[in-house]
Copies of this chain bind each other. A is one copy, B any other.
Amino acid sequence: MKKATSLAEENYLKAIYKLHERNGAMVSTSALAESLQVNAASVTDFIKKMAAKKLISYEKSRGVMLTEKGRLIALSIIRKHRLWEVWLVTNLGFKWDEVHEIAEQLEHVISDELIEQLDKHLGYPKTDPHGDLIPDAKGRFIKNSSKPLLDCAAGDRVKFTGVAEHSNSFLQYLTRSNIKLGDELLVESIEEFDKSFQVKINNKERKLLSKEVVKNLLVMLL
């Protein structure tokens, strides 16, 4: 069982997948360089080699896209990352803002049996601790209908299902504000001037959330 994909390749594939997911279309050299914290010249070099391996398609000076082969590898890394995050939170007692760095390492461990057993051990979770969907072993996941709370109207009753921003400072802000995944939010009013939202959480506490916050809270209508 030899290693077909290097650590660097796995990280490039994952970065390309995520940049494509957020911005659509082709991924630019500079976006990749920024995301991977690597010099743009190094990226140009590397993507040429990846294109030769048919992991991505590359149009000179225009950017890259994942091939089906590359997309499946990216999804398997993302699957591993998210399953490990679930394990770290539910079995080892880590907080949702403490697991990403560790999962960044664990996601590269190679063993199909391991990841299958882990999935089973966790009870086949559909989402990770941040509400992100976990693809199945074949790279498929059920897209859900969550959207930013910002897009909701006064009077909407929704469930908090995920975050659009994964920074520790945002996750910690939510923890301090006692807003947890699965909470029910009622939009009581929206301030026209600054788009801040007055919400009621789980029919109990009232909270004022800034536009910056509601933009990054993903919710589903109840």
Interface residues of A (CB under 8 A from B): 88, 91-94, 98, 101-102, 105-106, 109-111, 113-114, 117-118, 121
Q: Across chains A and B, which 8 residue pairs bring their CB atoms closest together, nearest first? A: A92-B117, A105-B109, A102-B111, A102-B114, A92-B121, A106-B109, A93-B117, A91-B121
CA distance in complex: A149, B87 (Å): 40
Query: Do A111 and B101 touch across chains, with their CB atoms under 8 A apart?
Result: yes
CA distance in complex: A105, B92 (Å): 19
For A106, list chain B residues within 8 Å (CB).
106, 109
> Which of B92, B110, B113, B121 is within 8 Å of A118, CB to CB?
B92
Nearest neighbor of A91 in chain B, beta-carbon distance: B121
For A91, list chain B residues within 8 Å (CB).
91, 121
CA distance in complex: A92, B88 (Å): 14
